[in-house]
Amino acid sequence: MLEKSYIIHVEKASLEKLKEEERIMMMDTSGMSPMQQEYYYQRQMEIIESRRKSNISDVANIAVKVAYLNATDTQEHVKELLSTETEAFVHQSLMDCSANYDDAIGNFEDSMAAFESKGYDHIQTLVAAAMVDPQTCEDYFNESPDHTSPLTSRNTILVKLCSNALAIVKLAAAEK
């Protein structure tokens, strides 16, 4: 299993790199000296070239990681809600959702590890399984017409992230 803190660290570093690259790509060099313009032109060309070398497998891996990070964030939110919830039905539903999110997180961790061996069929199975967990979480709250889920928007987002990741993993499998 992958260390959650390591993955978060790697994702933060990747996000910072993307922000820096975007800053460089959007930079107005018209007021710079010719040497500075040349420097930023070279940096822009390096960024473009590195993007050309990216492949669909990398994009699929990132999509799964984004879903994983969303699930871990939601799991933390569920724990916060549990610490203050006193109503029995809602508390039990949140406990069940927490178990579902534990399962989803485990599936994402296993799918990220499977990218090493290019096991795309296995990754698709794991992400599809993870996609069911937020839907099941939502179902717990729908059992009572008197209650609404405090997780509806988060569950919906994770389902969409899983759907996107599945589509990209399928593309990566087709290129294999």
Q: What is the CATH number of domain 56-175?
A: 1.20.140.40
Mean pLDDT of 2-7: 60
CA 159-161-163 angle, to 5 degrees, is: 70
**In the chain, where are the structural domains located?**
4-53, 56-175
Average pLDDT of the chain to the nearest whole number: 90
Place of tokens 């460089």: 24
The C-alpha atoms of residue 104 and residue 120 are separated, in whole angstroms, by 17
Burial zone of 160 (CB within 10 Å; 0-12 exposed, 13-18 middle, 19+ buried) = middle
Q: What is the Cα–Cα distance from 112 to 63, expressed in whole angstroms?
A: 10
What is residue 66's predicted lDDT score, i.e. its pLDDT? 94
Residue 38 tokens read as: 């040349």
Q: Indicate whether 94 pLDDT > 60.
A: yes
47-69 mean pLDDT: 84
Compute and round to an integer the Cα radius of gyration of the chain. 20
The pTM score is 0.71
The pLDDT, as a whole number, for residue 1 is 44
The residue-averaged pLDDT of 51-78 equals 88
